[in-house]
Structure 1
């Protein structure tokens, strides 16, 4: 298994564990307009649409059970990531030529990582983010905070100093209130 497939397997497994512990799929989330189920819906719908734009057939999984939808979707993504002929293909992106592996790592795997926080908070769980990974993402994304705000993909980014935990800093940077609770 290649490095990206290994990374996805770990992220997907952690997200699945969080999903399996959700008691109320209609619970509010740190994203004001979303319920817990919408987090899974987001992660399982945009990637097949983007993949299709690159000529990749990634089935769009639908259903009423968010855990089952996640399982099927992540299995489909895993199979795609284990196919080196697909992941090594170069495509044109807004950032220039990139391999499918680079696109998926930069956008999709980062999205899974960040939305773990939303699902954990909505369901009263600990996110369990790796502090080194969170710190690395904060360091990489902080110079782009204006672009993040303009993209409409995030809430208003807030840069917190190092007196805050890596989890708090990353949550704030992606426009979440680090102190948000479902209650």
Structure 2
């Protein structure tokens, strides 16, 4: 599966979760200590917005979380459909990447993990796609220990940015989704 197709599949699943949040659930606590359900969506939209400036695009503010995500999704899909924009290189915390690589490694992966966060916060289906679990697991266990330490250090990538929380112990025979969540600092 290519980057654009993977992003679209994950964005569709995330959008369904955003659409499934009840009006009285936006203030629900998420698994991320300082975030509500609304904050999770706002973070995802903000991360989408960070990808756009190097390709001369930006997001306009939206009135509600669903519209905000739909507009962010449309902007990223536009970039992925434009060969020049998709292959434009930029410096990122992970090194020099093309825009499509940056989308794949940051916002696309975020859709899976934060989709779980949103589902947990609002009582929706928490099951992740097995292909996504395997892909995220392989990426997470390949992170060198010194970089994982940096990912777990609040503010290491900028004020208020915390990539992963402290690892949560999970039995070795637990389902892979639970082991992934624990590794990335969530209580499965």
TM-score in terms of structure 1 length:
0.85
| Aligned alpha-carbon RMSD (Å) | 2.1
Residue of structure 2 in register with 1:47 after alignment = 48
> Does the alignment pair 1:146 with 2:156?
no
Of residues 153-162 and 5-14 in structure 1, the stretch that sits farther from structure 2 once superposed is 153-162
The SS at the match of 2:152 is: helix
CA distance in 1: counterparts of 2:93 and 2:165, whole angstroms: 22
How much has 1:157 moved relative to structure 2?
Answer: 2.3
Residue of structure 1 in register with 2:71 after alignment = 72
How much has 1:170 moved relative to structure 2?
Answer: 1.5
Q: Structure 2 stretches of 5 or more lacking a match?
A: 157-161
Output aligned runs, 1:111-150, within 5 Å: 111-144=110-143, 145-150=148-153
TM-score in terms of structure 2 length:
0.83
Q: How many residues align?
A: 175
The SS at the match of 1:135 is: helix
> Does the alignment pair 1:102 with 2:79?
no
The SS at the match of 2:52 is: helix
Q: Structure 1 stretches of 5 or more lacking a match?
A: 179-183
Of residues 146-155 and 111-120 in structure 1, the stretch that sits farther from structure 2 once superposed is 146-155
